[in-house]
């Protein structure tokens, strides 16, 4: 069973409390491997080392990437217990760049820095601040603000009379110097770096208000 603990490209969709725990129970009961895709949500992004840690579950396998090298080199990894990994014997599996020594050294340094500099804890603290400020926004165009840690989505309403979407909102952010991305058409994904400071969070909040005002003006003009 493969699952994203939080769907990233799906629009920052967070499962209901207990969903992952129940999935863990069912997989254990029926002897099915539970594999969590933590490529976007892992390594401190959600305020925990892994997003599945929010429900205190232990998957059988974890898929990692992106932040694993601190953005320096392409690195991905799969972690699992020996009972799983030892089913693969030498010669059965390989790939072109497997075991790249420079990539491995970079990943090791990135993980060490992530832990020693308290980036996971900072993600949780700054994420709570960011979410609390974003939820204060009042606009007829905003459907919902949701997220965990520094993995946040702001969903634009869609329906009669609304002619803008997440892509339009992302362009409004860009106008004020913030790069972001629309996911699933209607949700703008806000993912500041894990080293972000409080003053920078407040700066982004101020820009979000400006971008939202621009979004409302664009909607009125269409």
CB 65 within 8 A of CB 76: yes
98 vs 89: CA distance, rounded Å: 15
Helix (H) or strand (E) holding 187: strand 187-190
* CA Rg value for the chain: 20
Q: Where in the chain is the domain with CATH 3.90.1150.10?
A: 119-221
Kindly give the confidence (pLDDT) of every residue in the chain, 222 residues in length, as a single tens digit, with 9 standing for 90 and above.
999 999 999 999 999 999 999 999 999 999 999 999 999 999 999 999 999 999 999 999 999 999 999 989 989 999 999 999 999 888 888 777 777 899 999 999 999 999 999 999 999 999 999 999 999 999 999 999 999 999 999 999 998 889 999 999 999 999 999 999 999 999 999 999 999 999 999 999 999 999 999 999 999 999
Q: Where are the alpha helices (DSSP H) in the chain?
A: 19-29, 82-85, 101-116, 119-134, 166-175, 198-221
pTM for this model (two decimals): 0.93
* All CATH 3.40.640.10 domain ranges in the chain, comma separated: 2-116
Domain 119-221 bears CATH identifier 3.90.1150.10 = yes
Q: How crowded is residue 80: how many other Cβ atoms within 10 Å of its Cβ?
A: 17
CB 19 within 8 A of CB 130: no
- Top CATH class of 2-116 equals alpha beta
């Amino acid at each position: 069973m493969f699952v994203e603990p939080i769907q990233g490209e799906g629009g920052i969709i967070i499962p209901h409390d207990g969903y992952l725990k129940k999935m863990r129970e069912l997989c254990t009961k029926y002897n099915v491997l539970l594999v969590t895709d933590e490529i976007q949500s892992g390594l401190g992004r959600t305020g925990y080392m892994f997003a599945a840690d929010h429900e205190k579950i232990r998957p059988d396998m974890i898929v990692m990437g992106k932040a694993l090298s601190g953005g320096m080199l392409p690195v991905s990894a799969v972690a699992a217990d020996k009972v799983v990994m030892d089913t693969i014997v030498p010669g059965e599996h390989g790939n072109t760049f497997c075991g790249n020594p420079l990539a491995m050294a970079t990943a090791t340094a990135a993980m060490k820095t992530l832990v020693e500099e308290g980036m996971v804890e900072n993600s949780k603290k700054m994420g709570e601040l960011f979410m609390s400020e974003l939820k204060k926004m009042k606009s007829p165009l905003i459907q919902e603000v949701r997220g965990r840690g520094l993995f946040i989505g702001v969903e634009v309403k869609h329906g009669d009379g609304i002619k803008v979407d997440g892509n339009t909102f992302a362009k409004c952010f860009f106008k004020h110097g913030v790069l972001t991305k629309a996911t699933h058409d209607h949700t703008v994904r806000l993912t500041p770096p894990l080293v972000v400071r409080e003053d920078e969070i407040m700066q982004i909040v101020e820009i979000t208000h400006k971008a939202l005002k621009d979004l409302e003006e664009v909607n009125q003009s269409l």
